[in-house]
Structure 1
Amino acid sequence: MTRDAESGRDGVSGNVFHGPAPFQLGDRNVQINHIHHPAPQRRPLVLAGAAVTTREELAAAIRLDWAAARRQFFEGAGTPGTPSDGWLGLRSWLHELDGLTADDLTAQIELVDHRLRDDGLPADLKLLHLLGWLDPQGEAVWRGTVVTPQSLSEACRIGRLGESGPEWELYRDLCDGGLLEALAGFTGLSALRGTQRAWDEAWHSWRRLAARVPGLPPEAREWAESGARGLLLAALLPYPESRTWLRAGCERVTPPPTGEIGWYDWLRARDGGSDTPVGWLVRADFTAFAAVQAEQQRHQAAVDRQNQRISTALDAASTLRDRQWADYERRRLSPTARSGAAVRAALWLGAWGAATIPVPWIMWGWARPDIAATVSWYVVALTLAAYAGRLPRVVQLGAAYQPPLRRVRAWAEEARTDRASVRRGLIRAGSAAGAVLILGVLVHDIGPVATTVLLVPLLAAAFYFARIGALHDWADEHRERLRDYQSRRAGSGGLPQNIARDVRSPSARLRADAYHAYIRQFTGLDHSGKDEDRDNGRRDRT
C-alpha cells in the first residue's frame, strides 16, 4: 500500500501480490493465477545532459555541476509565482521515487513544501537542502566547493579579515544566515545543529556588551560591529581545527598589564570567562587592539618625556643665553668700553687721514709747497669732521666697535679675496686723490680763503655721511651675536629659525649640520672674542 504524494490517496502498487491467491468456493478450493504485468518504466530526470534515476545519481550530478542544477531547478521560472519547467520536473521526479522509508517521506514533504517552495530562500540554499536530503552521507558541497570542518575554520580565520577569495566568500555566505542549518543536514557536519542559533545569540549578546564599553577606540568599536562576528563563530564551531588557531592567536598577543587600558579591563571583567565565545573574542582580537594601544601610549609617554627633557634643557640654555647676553651688553656699554671705542675710532680714522696727507705733497709739494700744506690742513679738517660725525655711533657700539687695528694683515687678506671690496677701495682711493687734486687747483686759482669757504659744505657732508653710517662701523661680531640671540628667542621651541628649518630638510647634509648647530645651542653666547668662536657663529647662520 502506497500513498500518492500529489493526490493524497492510498493506492496499491502493482507488485503487491506475489504468486497465486487461493480462496474457498463451495466445497472446493479454487486457485486463481494472477496475471503479472511489469511495472511501468519511470521517466528519468535529465540534468546537464545526463539522465539520472536515483537519489544518489542526482546528488552526484549536482555536485558535479552546481550552477547548471541551480539554473534548471530554481532560476528558469517565468513570472513570480509561476513555477519553471525545471522545478515542475524536479518535483514530479521526487514524487515518483520508490523505496522511501517513512522518515524519508516525512523529510521529503518538509523539503518540498517548506524549503524548495520558499520564495524567500536563495536558490543556492534550496539546492543545498535538496542535496542534503538526496545524499546526506556524501560530501557537503556549497556552490561547487566541498565544505569541511577545516574550510569552515579557515573561513573564520582568513575570510573575516579579507575582502576577496574563497574563504571570504564562504564567510560572507555564513554571515548571511541559513547556511549552517543546511550544512547540518549532512552526516559529516551534523555537529553543526544548533550552531546557527547559538551564533546569533552570542552575536546579539556581544553587541549589547560592546555598546556599553567605556572609552573603546574607534577602530576597535568598528571591528566590534563587523569583524568580531567571525571569531564568535570560530569559538562555537564544534571542531578542534578552530580551537587550535584560536589558542595560537591568543598566545601571539600579550595582554597589557591590568590598569593600563581601562576599556580592556572593563571587558575582561564582563566577558564571561576564557571558555565562552565572548571570552575568546576578547582574549584574541581585542587583546590585540589593547596591546597596540598600550604600545602607542608607552611610545607617546617616552616621546613626551624626551620632549620634556629637551624643553627643560632648552629653557636652561635660553636662561643661560639671556644671562650671557646681559653680561655682554653690560661689558659692551661700560664707560671704559665706550672710552676705548672713542680712542679706537680716533686711531683708525687718524690712520686714514695720515695716509691721505702725503697725497697733496706728492701732487703739489715739488712745485708749490704752500698749496700742499694748505690742502694737508684740509685733509685734517675732513678727518676731524668724519670723526665728529662717527663718534656718537662709536660710543653707542662701545666694546663692539672693533676696527682692524690689530689684524690689518687679516683684513687686507679678506679685502684681497673679495673683489667687490677691492673695487670699492679703489673707488674710494681714487675719490680721495681726485678731491686732493681739485682742492689744490682751487687754492691755486681762487686762493686759500675762497677755497676754505667752499670747503665748509664738504666738511658738512663728511660729518653727515659719517653720522648716518655710510662709513664702515666695524661691528660685524656684534651683529652676528645680535642676530644669533634674536633668532634663538624667536625660533620654534627655543631653536633658531635656521635649525628649525634645516632639521626638516630632505638633504642629509643640511640635517647633519642642523644637528651640530642644535648641539651648539647649549654653548651659549660667550665667544670670548676668539676667531674660532666667531667662525662658529657664522656657520650657525648658514
Structure 2
Amino acid sequence: MTRDSESGRDGLSGNVFHGPAPFQLGDRNVQINHIHQPAPQGRPLVLAGAAVTTREELAAAIRGDWAAARRQFFEGAATPGAPSDGWRGLLSWLHELDGLTADDLTAQIELVDHRLRDDGLPADLKLLHLLGWLDPEGEAVWRGTVVTAESLSEALRIGRLRESGPERELYRDLCEGGLLDALSAFTVLSALRGTQRAWDEVWDSWRRLAAKVPGLPPEAREWAESGARGLLLAALLPYSESRAWLRAGCERVTPPPAGEIEWYDWLRARGGDSDTPVGWLVRADFTAFAAAQAEQQRHQAAADRQHQRVMSALDSASALRDRQWADYESRRLSPTARMEAVVRAALWLGTWGAATIPLPWIIWGWARPDIATTLSWYLVALTLAAYAGLLPRVVRLGAAYRPPLRRLRAWSEQARTDRASVRRGLIRAGGVAGAVLILGVLVHDVGSIVTTVLLIPLLAAAFHFARIGAVHDWADEHRERLRDYTSKRPGSGGIPQGVARGVRSPSARVRADAYQAYMRQFMGLDHGGKDETDRENGRRDR
C-alpha cells in the first residue's frame, strides 16, 4: 500500500493499471498510475471450500467445479440487478492480483467492463470469458466439459441431427452465439478468432439465398432455416476434422442429373460449385434432399407406368368380359333359345301334371271313377294355369331356364341329401293329396258344376304364384352368374378395396398380386374354356 503525501490516506496496492482512463471499482474511481514498489501478498478467494490466490489456481477451481463458480460469482444476487457478495468478492480479488503486465491489465479492463458487467450475457458465457483470461494456455472448458477441435466437429456432425445428448447441447449453445468468441481466447482454439462473425455473415447470406429458391420442398426449406446452420459452421472451422466428415458426407450422396430437379439446379448454379460454406452445404445436405426427391420421382413414375399398364390390362379384361356377357345374353335370348325354353317348360310342368293324375284314381277310382275322371281334368287345368303364369318368365329367361328334365337322378340324389327339401316335398305331396280328397268330396256332395266354379280361385292362384316366381323357375345358375357379372363390373364398385389399393402400390409384388386377384374375377367367362365347355355340353345333353 502507498500513502497519499497530502491527505495521509492509504492508496491502492501494487497491482498496476496502465492506460489513460480511470478504472471503476465499486463507487470509487481509481486513477491508473505507475507504482514501482513491490506489493504485499493478495488475500485469497474461497471457491467451493478451497482458497485460491493465483490466476491459475482459480482457473483450476473453475474447471473442477463449473456449477459452483457460476452460482458464487454470477447467480447469488439477493435482488435482480444488484451485485452479489460473490461477484463483489471476485471483482475485489481481481483488482488485487499481483504481477499483471500492461497487456493483462488492458485485457482485465475489457473483461470486467465489457464482459462480466454485461447483464445480457449468460452466466456460463461470463464464466468462460473469465476462464479464458485467467488461464488462456490451459484447457477450454465449457460447463465442465473440455472443448476441443474434435468435440466442436462432432457437435456439428452429430448434434445438429439429434434431439438430445451432449453434442446436441454444445451445438445449441454454439447457435445461440458468442461461444466461439469466448473459446477463441484459449490458445488451443485461437484459430477460431473471427469465426463467429464470419458464421453470422454466411448464415444471413444463405438465408437470403434460400428464400429465393423456386420450388424448394417444405422439408428442405425447413432445414434451410434451421439445421443448415451447423454445416455452414463446419465448413468455416479451421480444423481438418470437420473437413474430413464434410468430404465423406458429400461422397455418400450422388447428385441427380442436371434438369431432373429444378430447384437443385437453380441452387447449384448460384452457390454449389465453389469451395465455400454455401457450396459445401449445397453439395452435402441439399444434394441429399435432391437425390431423395429424384429417387422418389423415379419410383413414382415407374409406379404410374406400371399402374397404367395394369389399368390398360384391366380395361381390356373388362371389355372382354363385357363381350363375353353380351355373347352369352345374345345366345340366351335368341328366338330359338326362347322357343326351346317354352318347350322345356311344357315338358317339365306336363311331367308333373301327369305325375299327379294317378292320385285321384288311387283315392277315388276304386269307388267313383266318374269323380276320379273329373278330378283328373281339374289337375290338368291347374297345370295349364301354372304353365300360363310361368310362360312369361320362361320367355324372359330363354336358354337360362333349365329344369332337370334329363337330370332327374342327379336332382333326386341332391334332394335325398337335403332333408329340408325332402320335408318340403312331402308337405307339398300331402297338400296335393288333401286337395284331391277335398275336391272329390265337393264333386260328390255339390256336383261338378259348383265344384268347377269353386275351382276358379284355385286356378287363379296357380296362375298368380307361377307368374310371381313362387313356382321354381330353375334359373339359379343364371341369377348367380348375373350377380357375379354385375358386382364385378369396374363401374359398379365391385372391385375390392384391397385390390384397388394394390394396383396403385409402389411395390411390384403387391401390384402383381392385386392384378392376379382382379383377373380371377374374369375366370369362367370365356366360353372357350374347359369349365364353360363342359357346362354347355351338359346343357345340350338335356
Counterparts of 1:453 and 1:396 in 2: how far apart (Å)? 32
Deviations 1:47-103 (A, max 9, x none): 111111111101000000011111111111233443222111111111211212221
Deviates more, 1:219-228 or 1:359-368: 359-368
2:163 paired with 1:140:
no
Q: CA deviation at 1:369?
A: 2.3
Aligned to 1:251: 251
Q: CA deviation at 1:498?
A: 9.9
Counterparts of 1:287 and 1:137 in 2: how far apart (Å)? 41
Aligned to 1:397: 397
Matches within 5 A, 1:33-44: 40-44=40-44
Q: CA deviation at 1:491?
A: 5.2
Counterparts of 1:327 and 1:54 in 2: how far apart (Å)? 107
Aligned to 2:176: 176
Q: CA deviation at 1:213?
A: 0.6
Counterparts of 1:113 and 1:522 in 2: how far apart (Å)? 89
Matches within 5 A, 1:46-61: 46-61=46-61
Aligned to 2:337: 337
Q: CA deviation at 1:448?
A: 2.3
Counterparts of 1:253 and 1:198 in 2: how far apart (Å)? 27
AA in 2 matched with 1:385: A
Query: For the Cα contact (< 8 Å) 2:180–2:196, is it kept in 1?
Result: yes
Deviations 1:429-465 (A, max 9, x none): 1111111111222222222232222222211211121
Q: CA deviation at 1:532?
A: 6.7
Deviates more, 1:493-502 or 1:355-364: 493-502
Counterparts of 2:490 and 2:423 in 1: how far apart (Å)? 37
Counterparts of 1:527 and 1:286 in 2: how far apart (Å)? 59
Aligned to 1:445: 445
Deviations 1:102-160 (A, max 9, x none): 21111111111111111111111111011011111100000000001111011101111
Deviations 1:278-311 (A, max 9, x none): 1111111111111211121111112211211121
Q: CA deviation at 1:391?
A: 1.0
Query: For the Cα contact (< 8 Å) 1:2–1:11, is it kept in 2?
Result: no
Query: For the Cα contact (< 8 Å) 1:487–1:496, is it kept in 2?
Result: no
Relative to structure 1, the CA distance from residue 257 to residue 402 in structure 2 (aligned partners, 3 Å threshold; closer, same or farther) is: same
Other structure's SS at 2:91 match: helix
Relative to structure 1, the CA distance from residue 529 to residue 405 in structure 2 (aligned partners, 3 Å threshold; closer, same or farther) is: farther
Aligned to 2:16: 3
Counterparts of 1:364 and 1:501 in 2: how far apart (Å)? 70
Q: CA deviation at 1:323?
A: 1.9
Counterparts of 2:491 and 2:480 in 1: how far apart (Å)? 16
Aligned to 1:262: 262
Aligned to 2:314: 314
Relative to structure 1, the CA distance from residue 418 to residue 271 in structure 2 (aligned partners, 3 Å threshold; closer, same or farther) is: farther
Could you tell me which runs of 5 or more consecutive residues in structure 2 were left unpaired when the two chains were aligned. 1-13, 18-22, 505-510, 536-542
Query: For the Cα contact (< 8 Å) 2:526–2:532, is it kept in 1?
Result: no
Deviates more, 1:297-306 or 1:39-48: 39-48
Other structure's SS at 1:104 match: helix
Query: For the Cα contact (< 8 Å) 1:490–1:496, is it kept in 2?
Result: no
Aligned to 2:540: none
AA in 2 matched with 1:8: Q
Deviates more, 1:485-494 or 1:65-74: 485-494
Counterparts of 2:290 and 2:232 in 1: how far apart (Å)? 18
Relative to structure 1, the CA distance from residue 12 to residue 283 in structure 2 (aligned partners, 3 Å threshold; closer, same or farther) is: closer
Counterparts of 1:424 and 1:500 in 2: how far apart (Å)? 44
Query: For the Cα contact (< 8 Å) 1:332–1:397, is it kept in 2?
Result: yes
2:299 paired with 1:303:
no
AA in 1 matched with 2:345: A
Aligned to 1:86: 86
2:392 paired with 1:383:
no
Other structure's SS at 1:402 match: coil
Relative to structure 1, the CA distance from residue 534 to residue 13 in structure 2 (aligned partners, 3 Å threshold; closer, same or farther) is: farther
Q: CA deviation at 1:237?
A: 0.9
AA in 1 matched with 2:472: H
Counterparts of 1:440 and 1:500 in 2: how far apart (Å)? 65
Q: CA deviation at 1:372?
A: 1.8
Counterparts of 2:79 and 2:502 in 1: how far apart (Å)? 74
Relative to structure 1, the CA distance from residue 492 to residue 205 in structure 2 (aligned partners, 3 Å threshold; closer, same or farther) is: farther
Q: CA deviation at 1:185?
A: 0.3
2:428 paired with 1:436:
no
Query: For the Cα contact (< 8 Å) 1:364–1:440, is it kept in 2?
Result: yes
Counterparts of 2:533 and 2:102 in 1: how far apart (Å)? 107
AA in 1 matched with 2:186: F
Query: For the Cα contact (< 8 Å) 1:318–1:494, is it kept in 2?
Result: no
Query: For the Cα contact (< 8 Å) 1:274–1:283, is it kept in 2?
Result: no
Q: CA deviation at 1:173?
A: 0.5
Aligned to 2:283: 283
Query: For the Cα contact (< 8 Å) 1:487–1:497, is it kept in 2?
Result: no
Aligned to 1:519: 519
Identity %: 83
AA in 1 matched with 2:439: L
AA in 2 matched with 1:457: P
Q: CA deviation at 1:163?
A: 1.7
What is the TM-score with the length of structure 1 in the denominator? 0.87
Other structure's SS at 1:51 match: strand
Matches within 5 A, 1:395-474: 395-474=395-474
Other structure's SS at 1:138 match: coil
Query: For the Cα contact (< 8 Å) 1:74–1:84, is it kept in 2?
Result: yes
Equivalences, count? 506
Other structure's SS at 2:488 match: helix
Query: For the Cα contact (< 8 Å) 2:16–2:100, is it kept in 1?
Result: no
2:386 paired with 1:373:
no
AA in 1 matched with 2:107: A
